[in-house]
Structure 1
Amino acid sequence: MKRKLAITGAAALAFTFAGGTAHAQSAGDFYVSTGWLHLAPQDSSDPLFLYGVGGTPINQSVPNTGAGISDADTLALATGYFVTDHIATEFIAGIPPKFDITGKGQFSSFGTLGRAYQWSPALLLKYYFNDANAKFRPYVGVGATYIWFTGAKITNSAFENGVLGGPTSAQTSNQWAPVFNAGFTYNFTKHWFAGFSMSYIPVSVTATFTTARRTPVGTLTETSKAHISLNPIVTYLNVGYRF
């Protein structure tokens, strides 16, 4: 009898995780999730472009130069609302991750050149497949993000003084960009779920460097720019609670 009860209990447990209903994502449901966000730039860059020194136009690129962007990790928080059983809106943002900027080409010997912190909150519209009560629900989504950077700084003094020619400040452009998203959620109970998603964000930014270049005739202001394509792939592993 005990063996029969054990087998029956095991079968019920297996059914619960494999195919039972969870009274999951339905119209009117609100949810929050949090988890690990990994950003992996698929970066490329144009050569450093020198605009001018001391008011004199130069307008010349520096051959065999460039910059790359490191991967970064951060903690993210998302909130969402199911408009229908299959359509949901979601807002996601994270603690601004730090990206290291590395040299390429003739700058590669300097290693890390600087760093910057990225802000990129995003708004998504998602379509969920399967029935609203299904435990496993894949989805696709599309949306937009606004990207800006803070704390941009040249941290390599050898590069700053030896290549740029003196103390340098850095600024980056702000950009709107589309977000293409796909993922799934797995509903453990009526309220608790886990999820995974992957997003692609095609975006490029321009970094502007203003240098107080030391010259034989004194200190002159030099302006240079670098155009960098980031195009990150963003993965989000999370747990959430539905209200």
Structure 2
Amino acid sequence: MKLAKCAFLLAMALPQLALAHEAGDFFMRAGSATVRPTEGSDNVLGMGGFDVSNNTQLGLTFTYMATDNIGVELLAATPFRHKVGLGATGTLATVRQLPPTLMAQYYFFDSQSKVRPYVGVGINYTTFFDTDFNQTGRDAGLSDLSVKDSWGVAGQVGLDYQINRD
């Protein structure tokens, strides 16, 4: 009981900090990140073009607030895995990649607002580090899958909500 009273008194003595995104703040988030490839190939052996699956992974973001309304964010994620195949054959190969992304964000409303919607736009560099044909691909006589690192535009929409002061 004494420990609880001491903890309460200590908490009351400390300055109360509001959860706000203000100039100079640095914070981290964890959430989902999705990659939706838009590349494919021409008709392969009369069976159509290659399809590449979407993938969602854990994303970690690190944000620095340059002003009360403008943030700069770096996205890092666990490796994405995409299945590559033809409609007629199913999955033939798997490719793995990392897409580090740098964003500029605009946070709406006042820095003390309980609700802070934001939008971001930035640049993404996707780097591939592993390609592997599965047994179906090897049985089909495939031995070379060409994937290229690439640059692209990235976008985001989000909302921060302050549940309480603490």
Q: Please report the TM-score for the alignment, with normalisation by the length of structure 2.
A: 0.79
CA deviations over 1:58-99 (Å, ceiling 9, x no partner)? xxxx44421112232211111001010100000011010211
- Aligned partners of 2:51, 2:128: CA distance in 1, in Å? 16
The equivalent residue for 2:156 is 181
The equivalent residue for 1:87 is 70
Structure 2 gaps, min length 5: 1-17
Q: Is the alpha carbon distance of 1:33 and 1:174 closer, same or farther for their aligned partners in structure 2, counting shifts above 3 Å?
A: same
The equivalent residue for 2:23 is 27
CA deviations over 1:174-196 (Å, ceiling 9, x no partner)? 111111222221122456xxxxx
Higher strand share: 1
CA deviations over 1:33-72 (Å, ceiling 9, x no partner)? 1122233445654223xxxxxxxxxxxxx44421112232
What pairs up with 1:9-20 in 2 under 5 angstroms? none
Letter in 2 for 1:181: Q
Does the aligned pair in 2 maintain the 1:116–1:149 contact within 8 Å?
yes
- Aligned partners of 1:167, 1:138: CA distance in 2, in Å? 48
Q: Is the alpha carbon distance of 1:81 and 1:112 closer, same or farther for their aligned partners in structure 2, counting shifts above 3 Å?
A: same
Higher relative contact order (CA 8 A, sep 6+): 1
Q: Please report the TM-score for the alignment, with normalisation by the length of structure 1.
A: 0.56
How far the C-alpha of 1:156 sits from its partner, in A, is 3.3
Alignment pair present for 1:123 and 2:84: no
Letter in 2 for 1:35: G
The equivalent residue for 2:118 is 139
- The count of corresponding residues between Structure 1 and Structure 2 is 150
Calculate the aligned-residue CA RMSD, in Å. 2.3
What pairs up with 1:158-173 in 2 under 5 angstroms? 159-162=137-140, 166=141, 168-173=143-148
- Aligned partners of 2:165, 2:130: CA distance in 1, in Å? 42
Structure 1 gaps, min length 5: 1-21, 49-61, 192-243
- Share of identical aligned residues, percent? 30
Letter in 1 for 2:138: E
What pairs up with 1:1-243 in 2 under 5 angstroms? 22-41=18-37, 44-48=40-44, 62-104=45-87, 108=88, 110-157=89-136, 159-162=137-140, 166=141, 168-189=143-164
- Local SS of the residue matching 2:138: helix
Does the aligned pair in 2 maintain the 1:24–1:190 contact within 8 Å?
no
Does the aligned pair in 1 maintain the 2:47–2:86 contact within 8 Å?
no
- Aligned partners of 2:46, 2:94: CA distance in 1, in Å? 23
